[in-house]
Chains A and B, each alone.
Chain A
Amino acid sequence: MDPHSTNRRGRSCDSCHKDPRALGFGSGSIKYSNGKWEFVSALSGTPGISGLEHPLDAFTRIDGSSLVRSSKPGLRTFNSDEIESILYVGLCIDCHGNFDDPVMKNWRRNSPPSPCSASRIKIKNR
């Protein structure tokens, strides 16, 4: 789908790798602790009202279980492996967010570098 809102400048690293909305979780924040990812919704504080346990703007859950159907065959939300890969990059881009940086230059999707201790932080709430 091309929404036809093109701009010369592409979106930032953060807007994909650290934004739960870009990955389809909806509004909220993401935490990484003890090697696990967790999504905290900003909109579903009272599931009793809507009966939903996820934000209304969510398309998928952080475990990759999709909440939507597509009208196009082959179009899907990210699976759990893809979600982890994308979020993992987000741990590093605060310090290494440049393509000239050796960490990014030598990034291998199947064997990414181990996280440094400084990156064990809560990804900021959007």
Chain B
Amino acid sequence: MCLSCHNEKPDRAHGRDVLGCTVCHKGNPLAGSPERAHRGLIANPGELAIADKTCGTTGCHPGEVRRTRKSLMATNRGIISTLRYYWGETGSHHEQITVNELAKKNIKTPAADYFRKLCATCHTGMTKGRLPGFLAEKGGGCTACHSTPPRGADAAKGIYHTRITKNVPLHNCVRCHNRSGRIGLTYQGRYESEGYGTPYSQGELSENRLRDGRYFRQLTPDIHFRAGMACADCHTQKEVMGDGKDHAHLQEQLEIRCKTCHAQKTDLEKLVSLSQMPYFAWQQQMDQIDIPRLRIKKQDNSLVLEGMADKKLHRLAPPSSSSCMQPVHQRLTCQACHSTWVPQCYGCHVQNMKGGKQLDKITGRDSWGSWKEFKSFMRFNAPVLGILEEKGNSNRANHETHGDAGGKQGEVVILVPG
């Protein structure tokens, strides 16, 4: 009965002739009136709060939903832990407070309040459309990453259903990953500039503006972006959706390194075998598999990474034997040498105004105490270097260096305080 009103056409795997509408959206397909048909309807089945009954139902994606709920993107555990540690509210860098626990517990500290007012918009557990303005685009559970707008031709035919995709496009990631380290912007060569709108264009303010109004200047993008690669081409499902464990920080959840792909051919062979394993077989064994599942395959006599969306083949070059493998540089991470620029805000500061009110993004209501970030003396520079010591970073898999020296004496890394 749904189709008598809705001329929708989701992607092939979730097609109406495969699943029907109610497997995802519930409601009553046999009702004769819209009111009764829509009773119990779920507009966005991807929302994590109800995903057990929809995306995560038995026979669909229960494992993915279970792991995602524990992931850093759903819990914001890393942001909360880092904020509280950095602001001196806890001595532990590994607190396990999630955004849901913060909502339930009555934690009234400056870091907790700052998080509620400025950070809590960006987690996959946020109900899409709940917040005003551009913030309404944030969140949405599974669909925060796995949905794309309907194609233009479909929309012209009145087909508005979002398209569900496993090929997560870059802009879905950058919708959130555009602040703090600005990684999603830097990857595209976008440097968030000071807010003067310069350089002017035809006497007007620059047209290079982000969705939230910030200005940017176009610099050289990352080489992987120039090659047409999206975030999900490198960042595996286990990293992004989690491995089912309660990690406190992204680096504990990371399983890929530069040297994962940029390795000698013999080291890549095992990745080829894993990439050929059927998805469901891999999923059943993923807890026991400690190498990343990437789309690495053989082509002629070389190994290539296949682009997720465009199927483009990218040649995997090993590190230079003359410079990268030099003994004197064994403590250097790949990033220390190969990162060309990093955005820095040397004069940035935060102001707390106790007399003002601001929207608490967790409760959705205004509360006392407002926060404002100020930026000044922003620059893009060749990265400053420093040392990451073994202390507190004992996971050997995290090391980016080629030799053991990095592990024992500390690695030379890019230093971005804060």
Interface residue SS majority, chain A: loop
Is A4 in the interface zone, CB < 8 Å from B? yes
Question: B58: CB under 8 A from chain A?
Answer: no
Which of B82, B328, B342, B346 contacts A56 (CB under 8 A)? B346
Whole-angstrom CA separation of A76 from B415 in the bound complex: 8
A3 and B181 contact, CB distance less than 8 A = yes
User: Shortest distance in angstroms between A113's beta carbon and chain B's nearest beta carbon?
Assistant: 13
B residues in contact with A79, CB < 8 Å: 387
Closest 4 CB pairs of A and B: A73-B392, A10-B337, A74-B389, A68-B417
Residues in chain B near residue A2, CB distance under 8 A? 183, 335, 339, 414
The answer to whether A6 and B338 have CB atoms under 8 Å apart is yes
A82 CB contacts on chain B under 8 angstroms: 387
- Known interface pairs A1-B414, A3-B181, A6-B224; A24-B339 also in contact (CB < 8 Å): no
What are 12 inter-chain pairs, A to B, with CB distance below 8 A? A1-B181, A3-B339, A4-B184, A5-B222, A7-B223, A7-B340, A24-B384, A56-B347, A70-B417, A71-B85, A72-B393, A75-B389
Interface centre among A6, A15, A109 (most CB of B within 10 A): A6
Residue of B whose beta carbon sits closest to that of A60: B386
Interface size class of A (residues with CB under 8 A): 35 or more
Known: A2-B335, A74-B388. A21 touches B417 (CB 8 A): no
**When the two chains form the complex, which single residue of A4, A69, A71, A77 contacts B386, counting CB atoms closer than 8 Å?**
A77
Most-contacted residue by chain A among B82, B181, B346, B385 (CB, 10 A): B385
From known contacts A8-B223, A71-B85, A109-B328, infer whether A78 and B385 are also in contact, taking CB-CB under 8 Å. Answer: yes
Question: Number of A-B pairs whose CB atoms are under 8 Å?
Answer: 143
Could you tell me the distance between the alpha carbons of A121 and B370 in the complex, rounded to whole angstroms? 53
The answer to whether the Cβ of A37 comes within 8 Å of any Cβ in the partner chain is no
B294-349 residues with Cβ-Cβ distance < 8 A to A are: 322-324, 326, 328, 335, 337-344, 346-347
Known contacts A71-B86, A72-B93; is A5 also within 8 Å of B220 by CB?
yes
Least distance between B412 CB and chain A CB atoms (Å): 9
Question: For the complex, is B186 an interface residue (Cβ under 8 Å from A)?
Answer: yes
List the A side residues contacting B221 at CB < 8 Å.
5
**Are A75 and B388 closer than 8 Å at their CB atoms?**
yes
Given the contacts A6-B224, A74-B410, A99-B323, A24 and B385 also touching, CB distance less than 8 Å:
yes
Kindly state whether residue A40 has any CB partner on chain B within 8 Å. Answer: no
Do the beta carbons of B323 and A1 come within 8 Å of each other? no
- Chain B residues contacting A7 (CB-CB under 8 Å) are 220, 222-223, 338-340
Whether B381 is near chain A, meaning CB under 8 Å from some CB there, is: yes
Chain A residues 45 to 81 lying within 8 A of chain B, measured CB to CB, are: 56-57, 59, 68-79
Alpha-carbon separation in the docked complex, A11 to B383 (Å): 10
By a CB distance below 8 angstroms, the chain B residues around A123 are none
Q: B392 to A3, Cβ gap below 8 A? A: no
- Best-surrounded residue of B410, B413, B417 (most CB of chain A within 10 A): B417
Taking CB as reference atom, which chain B residue is nearest A56? B346
A57, B415: Cα distance in complex, Å? 12
Task: Report whether A99 and B386 are in contact in the complex, using a CB–CB cutoff of 8 Å.
Answer: no
For chain A, residues 1 to 50, give those with C-beta under 8 angstroms from any C-beta of chain B: 1-11, 15-16, 19, 21-24
- A92-121 interface mask toward B, CB cutoff 8 Å, 1 = contact, 0 = none? 000000010000100101000000000000
Which residues on A sit within 8 Å (CB–CB) of B258?
A: 6
Task: Using A7-B338, A69-B417, A109-B328 as known contacts, say yes or no to A21 and B85 having CB atoms under 8 A apart.
Answer: no
